[in-house]
Amino acid sequence: MNTTVHPATQTTDDSSVCPCRYIRKQAFIETVRRQKLKTIEEVRAATFINTSCGCCYETVQAILNELNSASEPGKD
């Protein structure tokens, strides 16, 4: 059984992911999970995140990578 808690899935941090779009981390994570978004392009189309100034790209991509790796079977 995998007991690792990935940082992107922890619920205690609800910082801003995209200040231009006023998107909070937990809302972003819920949207990615609910809509099964896998790529930055899918995220942009669904949420308009990272379509303005671009300063959130690394944060958005890191969270997306963590969520995708956590959802893959056999990954720790």
Compute the CA torsion angle 74, 70, 46, 10 (nearest 10 deg).
160
Stretch 1-12: mean pLDDT: 45
Instruction: Please list, in sequence order, all residues whose beta carbon lies within 8 angstroms of the beta carbon of residue 50, skipping any fewer than 6 positions away.
Output: 18, 40, 43, 44, 56, 57, 60
pLDDT value for 71 = 72
Per-domain residue ranges for the chain? 10-70
The whole model's pTM is what? Answer: 0.72
pLDDT digits (tens, 9 = 90+) for 8-18: 444 457 899 99
Name the fold adopted by 10-70.
Arc Repressor Mutant, subunit A (1.10.10)
